[in-house]
Amino acid sequence: MSKKQKTIKKEVTLSGVGLHTGNKVDMTFKPAPINNGYAFVRIDLEGKPIIEASAEYVVNTQRGTNLEKKGVSINTSEHVLAAIVALDIDNIIIEINAAEPPIMDGSSKHFIQALEKAGIQEQEAEREEYIVKEIISYKDEESGSEIILMPSNQYQVTAMVDFGTKVLGTQNATLEKLSDFKDEIADARTFSFLHEIEMLLDNNLIKGGDLNNAIVYVDKEISDETMVKLKEVFKKDSLTVKPNGVLDNLTLRWANEAARHKLLDVVGDMALVGTRVRGKVIANKPGHLVNTNFAKKLQKIIKQEKRNNVPKFDLDQPPLMDTQKIMSILPHRPPFLLIDRILELSDKHVVGMKNVTMNEPFFIGHFPGAPVMPGVLQIEAMAQCGGVLVLSSVPDPENYLTYFMKMDKVKFKQKVLPGDTLIFKAELITPIRRGICHMQACGYANNRLVVEAELMAQIARKTQE
Q: Mind telling me the catalytic residues? A: 288, 366
Percentages helix, strand, coil for the chain (3-state, rounded to 5) are 25, 35, 40
Three-class DSSP category at 117: helix
DSSP state of 363: G
The stretches of 39-133 forming alpha helices (DSSP H) are: 78-86, 109-118
One-letter amino acid of 74: I
Task: From residue 263, give the alpha-carbon distance in Å to each of 12, 110, 268.
Answer: 26, 17, 9
Whether 7 and 92 have beta carbons less than 8 Å apart is answered as yes
One-letter amino acid of 214: A
Whether 178 and 85 have beta carbons less than 8 Å apart is answered as yes
Range 220-255 burial, b when 16+ CB lie within 10 A, else e: eebeeebeeebeebbeeeebebeeebbbeebeeeee
Tell me the backbone φ, ψ of residue 446, rounded to 5 degrees: 55, 40
Whether 426 and 349 have beta carbons less than 8 Å apart is answered as yes
Distance CA 115, CA 81 (A): 11
Number of residues that this document lists for the chain: 465
Distance CA 125, CA 123 (A): 6
User: Measuring CA to CA, which residue among 182, 177, 139 is closest to residue 278?
Assistant: 177
One-letter amino acid of 319: P
